Amino acid sequence: MKKTIFTGAATAIVTPMNEFGGIDYESYARLIEWQISSGIDAIVAAGTTGEGSTLTDEEHRELLKFTVDKVKGRVPVIAGTGSNDIAYAVDLTKYACSIGADAMLVVSPYYNKATQGGLIKSFTAVADASDKPVILYNVPSRTGCNILPETCSVLADHPNICAIKEASGNISQIAKTAQLTEGRMDLYSGNDDQIVPVMSLGGKGVISVLSNILPRETSEICKSYLKGDVKKSMRMQLDYLELIDTLFCEVNPIPVKAATAAMGYGKNYLRLPLTPMEKKNEEKLLNLMKKAGIAF
């Protein structure tokens, strides 16, 4: 029986940057501390929200090690180690294992994409190189490559492939994946507006952008559901729906970077091709944050 990596909410944490384009580790450290003190269940470093695709190899490794060292085992650290270059993903996965990351988040190959057979071989190569659990990451809107339920079923037999972050947005596909992999692979929502629907299909929680600014509340949506208080979980999901939508009104992590900057966790700097949020959208976001009781 495979061990569940976490239940509840894992924050796909932003990577604060400074005006010179480097990583703002002081702000990052404070954000990690606040996340943990607020009851978040795990932290995902150097993922999509963490701008992992624009980090140099040295920065990527440094950020992962800093995260592991700062968290100190208080919650699981999940390292973003996926790439469209599988040899690089294998190498980065080995490194993340060596520094004590608790699990890997491995996105499907982007740009060059793959057939379903290519996905099976690629994910198997990464999982074979890992001595920690691997979470598949399906986000076809970004990668142009969809991990089909039947492919998940094959991969679920690998002893190191323990879960999937599903961000396809296709509930019918997610249901089929849950059916075909039940008991062999955990399921996490990759979309904050679908936490409750995915948990109704047996999901264990969410890998979240929202939890960058509402860690306790995002975790509570999941935990209420798991405790059987579906009504409360659903109510919270719906109450935050407009805020969630606004966090994705521009390409992630543009809005959430503006939000965490407003809260004092670094400045609103991103790496190209990402640019700061449009003013009208930022005003709406900040107003919704105030309405939600977020202090800044």
Nearest to 160 by CA among 121, 184, 133: 133
Q: Name the active-site residue from 137, 188, 225, 240.
A: 137
Nearest to 62 by CA among 83, 85, 46: 46
Q: Name the active-site residue from 65, 132, 165, 223.
A: 165
Q: What is the dihedral of CA 165, 74, 64, 166, to 10 degrees?
A: 0
Catalytic annotation on 165?
A: yes
State the residue for tokens 């396809």.
Answer: 168
CB 135 within 8 A of CB 188: yes
Catalytic annotation on 3?
A: no
φ and ψ of 234, to 5 deg: -65, -40
CB 43 within 8 A of CB 75: yes
Half-sphere exposure at residue 206, Cβ-oriented, CA atoms within 13 angstroms: 33
φ and ψ of 71, to 5 deg: -70, -35
Which are the catalytic amino acids?
137, 165
